[in-house]
Amino acid sequence: MKLLIHGCGYIGEVHLKTVLNNHLCEVALCEMNGQRRKEVAEKYGIDETYTSLDEALKHSFDGVVICTPNFAHKDDLEKCVKAGLNVMLEKPMSSTLESAREMRELCRKYDKFAFVAYCLRFAQPYQRIKKMVTEGKLGKVFGIHASVAGKKAITDAKTDYRTKRALGGGVISDFSHEIDYALWFGGKPVKNVKCFGARAIHKEWDVLDTAELLISCEDDLCIAIHMDFLQPYFGRSIEIYGTEGAIRWRDNESIKFYDCKKDKWIEMDSAIDWDDVYREEMEHYLHCLQTGEKPMIDAENGFETFEVIDKCVQDAEKGVF
Ligand SMILES: NC(=O)c1ccc[n+]([C@@H]2O[C@H](COP(=O)([O-])OP(=O)(O)OC[C@H]3O[C@@H](n4cnc5c(N)ncnc54)[C@H](O)[C@@H]3O)[C@@H](O)[C@H]2O)c1
């Protein structure tokens, strides 16, 4: 099999390394920035490189990994599905609700999938928590609290899309991993959304740098998420409340599960091996390409998450801009 990595910035390089280090398949690169293209091609010894997606798609690939800034996702996806390709698409789906909806329609019309790469679902601790919730270890789950914070996110990227509305930036869309996994853990349809946000530090931006999200779901589930681009350290945390137990986890500590029946806290290993996360994510994509199976997160799921992102942004920005 042969993949095209389109957009070789921060995450494009991560996916390239994953493919090469694990000998998963052949790979070519597409990167519009000449200096960056040369740097990455030389570093990893890639001979086949392209300057544009149009040029690359004149050649044959089994799939494309779209790693461009959010605002470019729709045009990139459209070109790929029209070329008959199933794609892996970096999160979030897009930069506007309208374009995200168009992307869902394109996948339906051309009968192609877009695997939206919410990679945390491939990390062991998240899978462990999902399994415990699904197996009913917490009884009826009525509350999920999550947080993600850190200014590192702004400086990771090679371009400044995270801080600009026109490029699809803002803390809510960028940290939408939290929305994706909280809805995945809960497994219930969304009913309503409320959100408060601010430009607490970055007054010059036209997007939010901090937000508090409240999502109500069917079956009495409430989700609360804190996000910010401000804290000096980067960290995530999760608390889940159920009638039979609770889970508490900060990402540099062990997962703690309170078992009501035993009346005690049980500690579980929660180390994340990021190489494994990205390998399992890429293997999932390749498996879906080979078998034609539906990916774990497709354009339908990516759109549902984007609808929540959009509602939160709309609500939070009232009075801020
Ligand atoms: N899953 C994750 O954990 C994760 C982590 C980081 C980023 N992402 C997502 O991956 C995507 C890329 O993020 P990144 O941080 O790697 O970005 P980046 O700025 O580091 O890289 C983007 C690359 O795309 C290229 N590019 C191609 N077409 C472009 C266009 N039309 N306009 C501008 N640049 C174009 C740029 O030259 C650049 O090299 C985003 O959608 C982001 O949300 C996901």
Distance 286 CA to ligand 1 centre (A): 21
Residues sharing a CB contact under 8 Å with residue 98, sequence separation 6 or more, in sequence order: none
Q: Are residues 87 and 103 in contact, defined by beta-carbon separation less than 8 angstroms?
A: no
Mean pLDDT over 76-80 rounds to 98
**Model pLDDT, residue 256:** 97
Give the pLDDT confidence score for residue 320 in this predicted structure.
Answer: 86
**Site residues for ligand 1, CB cut-off 6 Å:** 7-12, 31-33, 36, 67-70, 72, 90-91, 117, 119, 156-159, 161
pLDDT at 251 over 90: no
Give yes or no for a contact between 317 and 180, defined as CB atoms under 8 angstroms apart.
no
Identity of the amino acid at 102? E
Higher pLDDT, 160 or 28: 28
Q: Is the pLDDT of residue 180 over 90?
A: yes
pLDDT tens figures, 135-149: 999 999 999 999 999
| pLDDT of 158 | 87
Tokens of 14: 């991560």
Scanning 57-96, the segments in alpha helix (DSSP H) are 73-82
Take atom 3 of ligand 1 and give the residue whose Cα is closest: 119
pLDDT tens, 6-60? 999 999 999 999 999 999 999 999 999 999 999 999 999 999 999 999 999 999 9
Pocket test for ligand 1, best of 30, 53, 67 (most atoms within 8 A of CB): 67
% of the chain exceeding 70 in pLDDT: 100
Q: What single string gives the DSSP state of each residue in 128-182? A: HHHHHHHTTTTSSEEEEEEEEE-THHHHHSSS-GGG-GGGT-SHHHHTTHHHHHH
Tell the residue nearest (CA) to atom 29 of ligand 1.
Answer: 68
Residue 319 — very low, low, confident or very high, per pLDDT cuts 50/70/90? confident
CA angle centred on 95, ends 188 and 210, rounded to 5°: 70
Residue in the block written with tokens 């030389």: 42
Could you tell me which residue, 318 or 46, shows the higher pLDDT? Answer: 46
Most ligand 1 atoms within 8 A of CB, residue of 14, 158, 278 to mutate: 158
Average per-residue pLDDT in the chain?
A: 97
Q: Name the residue at shortest CA distance from atom 37 of ligand 1.
A: 33
Nearest to 279 by CA among 22, 44, 65, 25: 22
Residue 169 pLDDT: 95
Q: What is the pLDDT of residue 207?
A: 96
- Centre of ligand 1 to C-alpha 88, Å, is 13
Convert the pLDDT of each residue in 268-316 to its tens digit: 989 999 999 999 999 999 999 999 999 999 999 999 999 999 999 999 9
Q: Quick one: pLDDT at residue 302?
A: 98
